[in-house]
Amino acid sequence: MLAPEFCDSLAAELTPVLDQRQTQGKSGGVRNLLQTNPHIAQLADSPALRSLVSKAAGAPAFPVRVIFFDKNPKANWRVPWHQDLAIAVTERVETPGFSGWSVKDGVVHVHPPREVLENMVTVRLHLDDCEISNGALRVLPGSHCQGKLSDEEAARLTTTGQPFFCPVSKGGVLLMRPLLLHASSPAENPSHRRVIHIEYATQRLPNGLQWFGNNLESNLAFVALGSNLGNSRQIFAQAIARLQEFSAAPLRVSTFLETAPVDCPPGSPDFLNAIVALAPRAEETPESLHAKLQALEKEFGRQPKLVLNEPRPLDLDLIVFGQETRATDQLALPHPRAQQRRFVLQPLAEIAPDLILPGQARTVALLLAEL
């Protein structure tokens, strides 16, 4: 559930944008909010929503499209039964199984194969109470298991099936599959029914196709955590809390990974490793963040090296800072050995599988598979 005050804040921010669009004679909702609204991008990429969707999807999920709708007295439309069949991509790349190309608000859309849609989850965040009389969503349970339906098949199912209404209170969250047949009627007593519609995917697209909305990682900094001295799990918990202070948005944190030491002195204890993604503040630079990480290491007892790769309570390596590159004695970006280290790539691929390190041509998920 979203707090009522948070719903009001989002509604106050988004409603004027939609009103302006309608004044210009444009129909539908406000698209491309992942790219145009930082608050919505942070919300869609928040750990709470990603965790909720990943559990429903059965795999790590990432946001790819956000649309804002409002059914109100000026736009009290009827939505017929349909499936959500289109996805947004960066450019048109002719690919087997992908058809129905179109351009909406300057963004290329395409109908992907059934397998892509089956691995997606949609989240609807309700900023107002949505009762049956106010155009609540109607769904046909189980219809998403039938794949992509023809008009005739959809008509048959909606005629013979039993629809289910989905009233949702203000702040409520509704999850559904894009292939689920759904519809809504005009409101009987129309008032605001504002919904933030967020689509999540769990897999990369083939043949060079790229999700239009999956570029959030390009603005993040990724920090590798390592520890093999002291209570490593407690150290990680405390260090992550401190790292949150450096981020303009909630952190994205991988699971903790226990690994054998690599290139360390004989007899070194096993390591605990993780990756944290943070959103650098506007004034942050790679150099300033690197200095903060070094200071944080010292806070946790890191001493000057006497032996290369000796045990330490906390090691913080800046792996990536957006698309920045550096090659100085003090800082190298991206980290020069990141693509060679499983203890870096495995947690990195968990939280950002489609990230492409500057200078690389393959995603971290593919780099991990090739190790």
The predicted-structure confidence for 130-173, as pLDDT tens digits, reads as follows 998 888 999 999 999 999 999 999 999 999 999 999 999 999 99
pTM: 0.65
Tokens for 292, please give them: 């903060």
d(C-alpha 222, C-alpha 353), whole Å? 13
d(C-alpha 107, C-alpha 226), whole Å? 41
Tokens for 317, please give them: 């390596």
Res. 273 pLDDT band, cuts 50 70 90: very high
d(C-alpha 102, C-alpha 87), whole Å? 10
Do 333 and 320 meet the contact criterion of CB atoms below 8 Å apart? Answer: yes
Average pLDDT over residues 248-269: 88
Residue 214 reports pLDDT greater than 70: no
Residue 257 reports pLDDT greater than 80: yes
- Higher pLDDT among residues 74 and 32, named by residue: 32
At 216 the pLDDT is 63
**Residue in 210, 213, 200, 175 with CA at minimum distance from that of residue 119:** 200
Which residues are marked as active site? Answer: 302, 312, 315, 317
pLDDT in tens, 86-120: 999 988 999 999 999 999 888 899 999 999 999 99
Architecture of domain 4-201: Sandwich (2.60)
List the single range of 5-14, 78-87, 181-190 with lowest mean pLDDT.
181-190
Residues of the chain with CATH 2.60.120.620: 4-201
Contacts of 163 (CB under 8 A, 6+ apart): 138, 139, 140, 183
d(C-alpha 7, C-alpha 135), whole Å? 19
Tokens for 276, please give them: 């944290």
H or E segment to which residue 320 belongs: strand 315-321
Contacts of 181 (CB under 8 A, 6+ apart): 81, 82, 83, 139, 140, 143, 144, 149, 154, 157, 158
Residues of the chain with CATH 3.30.70.560: 216-370
pLDDT in tens, 303-335: 887 777 788 899 999 999 988 999 999 999 999
At 194 the pLDDT is 93
What dotted CATH number matches 216-370?
Answer: 3.30.70.560
Q: Which residues pair with 343 in a beta bridge?
A: none
Average pLDDT over residues 254-262: 93
d(C-alpha 371, C-alpha 361), whole Å? 15
At 120 the pLDDT is 97
Do 60 and 353 meet the contact criterion of CB atoms below 8 Å apart? Answer: yes
159-196: burial string, b at 16+ Cβ within 10 Å, e else:
eeeebeebebebbbbbebbbbbbbebbebeebebbbbb
